[in-house]
Structure 1
Amino acid sequence: MEKIIDLFRNIQDVKVISAAIDYADYVALDLSVTNENLVGQKLATAKDYEEYIQNYLDKHQAKIAFGGYIEHRNLYQRSSVFKNDNTDERNIHIGLDLWINESAPIYAALEGKIHSFQDNTALGDYGPTIILEHEIDGLKFHTLYGHLSLDSLNNKKVGNFVKKGEQIATLGLPPINGDYAPHLHFQIIIDMENKTGDYPGVCSSKTLAFYMENCPDPNLLLKIKS
């Protein structure tokens, strides 16, 4: 993974959402279980989170909130995708979330091709999802774009070439986007493990070490400063 990380450090000018919004207008958002500011907040529905995030953006005079990599969260407990009697609870987020309360344009982080796409329809899942495959200097990896609009899957074909900065989708709104406040889940995946159209974006504590190796911090590529 060190070669991938070194590669990312040398790549500049990557935007995956609302390219006209400068990183200076981003603000870091903590949705972890350790954030004392969330105690007492009644955040049960997509609408609750939408209002909370908009108030947070307004308070900080920001346009996009970002964060969530390796963040331990409670917000997945409503869904059997993450919490059920048959598997370990998954509650550690392994992508980067970019929160904006509108159907914003989504762009390819880098040149590549469409690896796969799918509408992951379960409550709390990604909803419409696109995965791109990239190869730079002999290093192959993937980028995942989750919580998109349903229209984003139209006219897509596996293997189609995409340019860096090409618009590939628009952001989805609830309930199509997995029933969340509008946000892009952006994730880097080295080995897709033969999966298509989907890849875990939340893991358990038992599998965290593996996913930290296979899914490095997306901000190494985006370089958003908090």
Structure 2
Amino acid sequence: MTDLEKILVTIPKKPIPIIDSKFSLDVYTPLDLSVSNTSLEHHNITTPAGCQEYIDTVLAASKAKVAYGGYLEQRNLYSNTPSFNSASDFVRNIHLGLDVWAPIGTLIVTPIDGKVHSFKNNTTPGDYGPTIILEHSVNNEVFYTLYGHLSISSIEELYTGKEFKQGEILAEMGAPEINVNYAPHLHFQIIKDLQGNFGDYPGVSSKADVEYYSKNCPNPNLLLSIGV
């Protein structure tokens, strides 16, 4: 267990909301978008409509309203995006964050106290669209959380250093035409070392790099405890 993971597990272990409280945890259901899920053979999840179609079937079957999951999940979701497939030996398809899939405009709340480190609209196909990175310090351990696939309005009045308390509204989920062509969701990622990045950080890894990234980006559910 890394030093950051040890810090995360010391935070009180009750579920920490990260979206609008109108979605209680009893309407959440796990979502499997991995390459091993044979149900995905009948859905083109590389398009927002196809991905949403599959998500809706999972929500309906579970009588749920919110889907979540995806940490270290190997996915075909990115197979049609050139930036994820630039070289045959460097295909990036292992997801480094936790996704929360909910309707466009769903409010995102701050899981723990933090301040704005940086923000940016990452418009390259396959990236995050509007993105916020918060800086946190717990027991003298500094780390960061990234929130991707937001609305434009989420970053319009931000400034570096702006403080957010746990439970405060931080942002809202963006539409596919804003979030760079994904079904509406939040990408939430914990990062120890930003490696000089500003308003962006890789959210998907290749197999060759996953050992490093899995240590630098621990499981977000160590903090959130959703479904635990």
Please indicate the TM-score interval, normalised by the length of the shorter structure: over 0.9
Q: Which moved more, 1:191-200 or 1:6-15?
A: 6-15
User: Does 1:11 pair with 2:15?
Assistant: no
- Shift, 1:49, TM fit: 1.1
Flag the 1:11–1:80 CA change in 2: closer, same or farther, 3 A: same
Q: Report the AA paired with residue 151 of structure 2.
A: S
Matches within 5 A, 1:59-74: 59-74=61-76
| Structure 1 SS opposite 2:111 | coil
Gaps in structure 2 of 5+ consecutive residues: none
Q: C-alpha distance in 1, partners of 2:54/2:93?
A: 20
**Shift in Å at residue 86 of structure 1?**
8.7
1:187 aligns with 2:196: no
Contact 1:50–1:101 (Cα < 8 Å) also in 2: no
State the secondary structure of the residue aligned to 2:42: coil
The residue aligned with 1:123 is 125
SS state at 2:8 partner: helix
Q: CA deviation at 1:68?
A: 0.5
Partner of 1:203: 205
> What number of residue pairs does the alignment pair up?
226
TM-fit CA distance, 1:152? 0.4
Tell me the amino acid that sits aligned with residue 84 of structure 1.
S
Of residues 98, 101, 104, the one that matches 1:96 is: 98
**2:82 aligned with 1:80:** yes
**Residues 2 and 215, structure 2, Cα contact 8 Å, conserved in 1:** no
The whole-number CA distance in structure 2 between the counterparts of 1:193 and 1:7 is: 20
- Please say if residues 123 and 179 of structure 1, whose CA atoms lie closer than 8 Å, have aligned partners that are also in contact: yes
Report deviation, 1:10. 3.0
Q: Deviations over 1:127-180 (max 9, x none)?
A: 000000000110000000000001101110011111111111110011111110
In percent, how many aligned pairs have the same letter?
45
TM-score by length of 1: 0.95
* SS class of match (1:152): helix
Specify the alignment match of 2:2 in structure 1: 2
Q: Which runs of 5+ in 1 are unaligned?
A: none
